[in-house]
Amino acid sequence: MTGTQEQTFFHWDADTLVVNILGKPGASKVAIGKPKGPQLKVSVTAQPRNGRATDHMVGFLAPLFGVPARDIEVVFGRESVHKQLRIRNPHKWPEIFGPWYKPRDAGKAKGGQ
C-alpha cells in the first residue's frame, strides 16, 4: 500500500497470502462481502458448530484463490467469527482484493512463475 493510514485485510508473507476474516455463519447465502476495517466479511450458510462453518468457508474460498483447501491454514479463529487464514501460493483472488499481483520474489523458491 501507499504511505497512507488505510487499513487492509490482507498482506503477503513470501508466497503466502495472509487474510483477516470476519465470518458470518448461518447466513442465507455464501458470499464475500466488503472489508470491515482490517477484516474481510465472508458469509457462509453452515451453522457455527465445532468449526463446521470455518470448514465450509475454507471450501468456498479455495477455488476463488486457485488452491486446494489443504493449502488454506486457519491460523486462529476456527470456532470464532474473527479468523486469520494463510493461503499458500494462490494463483488468483476475488475482485475485492483489487488487481491481481504477487510479490516479485514469491515464486523463486519454486522455480519462479
Q: Tell me the pairing of strands 16-24 and 82-88.
A: antiparallel
Rounded Cα distance between 5 and 109, Å, is 32
Question: What's 72's domain CATH number?
Answer: 3.30.1200.10
Lowest mean pLDDT, pick from 5-9, 31-35, 69-73, 92-96: 5-9
- Looking at the domain assignment, is residue 111 inside a domain? no
* Residue 109 pLDDT grade (very low, low, confident, very high; cuts 50, 70, 90): very low
**43-81 confidence digits (pLDDT tens):** 999 999 999 999 999 999 999 999 999 999 999 999 999
Q: How many domains does the chain contain in total?
A: 1
**What pTM was computed for the model?**
0.85
- Looking at the domain assignment, is residue 87 inside a domain? yes
- Looking at the domain assignment, is residue 86 inside a domain? yes
- Looking at the domain assignment, is residue 63 inside a domain? yes
Q: Is the pLDDT of residue 6 over 60?
A: no
Which pLDDT does position 105 carry in this prediction? 62
Range of the domain at 73: 10-91
